[in-house]
């Protein structure tokens, strides 16, 4: 595909097939595309991504992707939802955790620790004088 004009024409045609004669006329805000095996680019086949129509059309015409099947889209959305839930759980855990580094002196001033040295001092045996 050496001819840039031909490539552009094929992209316009693909955009129309995907539902957008122009960006303002989108039937869907994004199109789901699935990567194809492409050893030259080192891509992983079967990866689903959502893309704006123009970008999706370019990838399809370039031969690196194809339009995703409904099953692939459903799986992608389920995986995304699971990741979103995991992120929310992690964020909530981070909110619950508060790490406060205190010096022993400051902790004692705040009444957060008891000084155990007093007990040790009272248990010391004083030398007996004769």
Which residue ranges make up each domain of the chain? 4-96
- Average pLDDT over every residue of 90-102: 75
Residue 66, judged by CB atoms within 10 A of its CB (0-12, 13-18, 19+), counts as: middle
Sheet holding 31-35, edge to edge: 48-51, 31-35, 65-67
Short-list 77, 31, 22, 76, CA closest to 56? 31
Spatial distance between the Cα atoms of 105 and 116, rounded to a whole number of angstroms: 13
For residues 24-42, give the mean pLDDT: 78
Predicted TM-score of the model (pTM): 0.60
Taking every pair of C-alpha atoms in the chain, what is the biggest distance, in angstroms?
112
pLDDT > 70: percent of the chain: 74
């Amino acid at each position: 595909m050496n001819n840039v004009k031909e490539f552009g024409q094929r992209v316009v045609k693909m955009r129309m097939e995907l539902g957008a004669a122009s960006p303002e006329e989108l039937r869907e805000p994004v199109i789901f595309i699935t990567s194809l095996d492409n050893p030259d680019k080192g891509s992983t086949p079967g990866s689903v991504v959502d893309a704006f129509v123009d970008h999706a059309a370019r990838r399809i015409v370039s031969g690196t992707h194809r339009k995703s099947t409904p099953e692939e889209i459903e799986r992608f959305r389920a995986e995304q939802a699971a990741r979103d839930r995991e992120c929310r759980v992690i964020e909530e855990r981070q909110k619950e955790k508060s790490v406060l580094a205190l010096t022993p002196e400051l902790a004692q001033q705040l009444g957060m620790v008891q000084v155990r040295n007093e007990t040790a001092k009272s248990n010391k045996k004083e030398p007996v004088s004769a």
